[in-house]
Structure 1
Amino acid sequence: MPHQLNADLHSHSSLSDGTLTPEALAARARAQGVELWALTDHDELAGQARAAAAARAEGIAWLGGVEISVTFAGETVHIVGLGIDPANEELGAGLARTREGRLQRARQIADGLAKVGIPGAYDGALAYVTNPDLMSRTHFARWLVDTGVCRDNGEVFRRYLVSGKPGYVAHRWAGLGEAVGWILAAGGAAVIAHPGRYKFTPIEEYALFSEFKAHGGAGIEVLTGSHGSADAAKYAAMAIEFDFAASRGSDFHSPDESRIDLGTLPKLPKQLEPIWQRLEARIQRP
C-alpha cells in the first residue's frame, strides 16, 4: 500500500480566529510531521501568500485554502475550499460580501451580554482581534475565559453564545451554491467541514450532502478534531455512498484551545480516496 501523506488541510491563523501567525503555524506543522498543509482561515485570504512562503521555507507542500460560512436549513455550515487560487477575483469578492456585517453582529452580541450583567464585552473581545473584519464568537469566548466569567470556551458557548442564549446573534451567511461556485471559480475543490458538528436531522443532513454534490462539491472531512471514531466511521461510509473524496484536517486554532494538534490525526481508511489526490496539480511543493 502506498504511503499516505500526513496531510493537515484545516487550520486557522491569527488573521481569522486562530492565535498563531501563518509563519508559526507552518513551523508547528513541520515540527509535527505534516507533509501537506493548508491554511483555511474563515472567509479570509489575507494569510495565503504568507502561508505559501512559510511552507516553502519549512520544506512542506502546500495547498491554498479557505473556510466559507454558509447558511443551510437554518444552521451555519462551513465549506472548506482546497487548491484555490487566492488571487481569484470572484472568490475574493464573494468572501468580502460574506464578511460584511460581522462588526454589527459583534456589537449585538456585546449588547446581549450586557443585558445579563457582563458589560464591556465588545472592547474586551476586540483586544483579541487581529483582523477586525473577522471578529467572531471565539474572540468573545477568549475574553470571557480570561476575565474569569467562564472556565473554558465550552462553558462560554453553552451559557452565552449558542442559539437561545443571551449572546447569540444569528447571521445570514453565503448560500451553499454560492460558496461552492466561488471555490470552483478559483480552481479549487469544495469540502464539507466537520459534518458531525451540525445539528441536522438525518433528512436535513442527506439534503445537505445531496445539494452539495449537485452544486459540484467534491469531498467531506472524515477525520477532524471534533470527530470521534463513530463520526469517522459514519462519514467514511457516507463518502463512499456519495462518491466524495475524503479530507483530513485538525481544525487547529491554538496550542491552548484545540482538541488535537496539527498532524496528529490517524490515517484515512484505505478504502477512501484522499482529496489531495484530486488536487495533485494544485499542490505547491518546496
Structure 2
Amino acid sequence: MIARKDNPGEHFNSALEAFTSGELETAVACLRVGFFENLYIAARLVGEEAHPQEIWYPGPEARPDAAVEYVERFGFDWKGSNAKMRFLQSVWSDPLVRRELENFISLSRALERAPDERTRNKLLDERLRYTDRGRIDATQAEILCRLRGGDLAGPSQPPVLDSLYLAAADPVESVEFYRKLLNIEPRETSRQARGCAEFELSGFKLVIHGLDQQSEEDPFGLGPRPASLGWGSVLVLGVQKLDGYLEQARHHEIEILDSELETGEAMGLETAGTTRFFVVKDPSGYLIQLEERG
C-alpha cells in the first residue's frame, strides 16, 4: 500500500514534487490516493464547487475545512504553473478516476449508514483497497496513456550546456592561453578545421577550434565576420581559490583587464560578501571572467 500520511495534503505535495521531477507514474499514484483521502482539495484547486458530502469521514483532515486550509497554504504551488494545473485537471477529470471516485463516495455513504460494527468493518476493509498500491498500479496504464497522449508527461527539464565552441584566429596560441590560465591540459585535440582542442571543465566542454572562416554561401545567415571574434562575449567561470588562478595569470604575463580582489568585509563596506573576480582577454578577443565561488 502507499504509505499512509497524517494529512491528505501531503499526498498532493508528493504528487507535485514527483511531477516536477518528471516522475509521472508516481505523481498520478499520489494524486489518486490524495483524492480518496480528501474529496475536496482537487475540486477547490481546479475551481469547482465542492459541496459537502453526507458520508463517513475518518477524521477532520478529510473534511471540506481541511481542503480550504490546504488551498490557502499550498494553492499557489499548483496555480503558479500552467503545466501543473493541466496535469491536476487531467487526472481529476480522467474517466477512470471519476468512476472510482463515484464508487468510493457510494461506499463512504454506506459506511456512514452502517447498521452495525460488523458491516462497518467490512466496508472499512473495502475502503482500504482503494488506496492499495497493487490496485493503483494495475489501473494506471490507461490513465498514463491518456496523459502522455495529451503531452502531459511532465515539465521539460532545462537544457544542459554540453559544449561551448570558441572560434580562434590562431588555435595554437589560444590553446596555449587556456592551458596557462586554467592550468589544465586539453582532453582531446584534432588537426582538422585548422586545429581543435577540448578542455573538460566542470559541467561542460570548452572547445577551441580554428574554423573561423564562414562559407561563401553563409547558410546560417551569420553575416560578415567581426573584427574581433570575441566581440560582445563574456565567458564567466566560477572557481575556487581565485588567488591561485591570479598568480598563474601573472606568472604567464596575462594582462588583467579588470578585477575586484578585496571582499566587502576586508574593505569595511556595506557590500559585505562582494564576489571576487578578475577579467582577462584571450588571443581572439574573448573576455574571460574568473569568479571565486564557495
Structure-2-length-normalised TM-score? 0.20
Q: Which has the larger radius of gyration?
A: 2
Structure-1-length-normalised TM-score? 0.21
Q: Relative CO higher for 1 or 2, CA cutoff 8 Å, sep ≥ 6?
A: 1
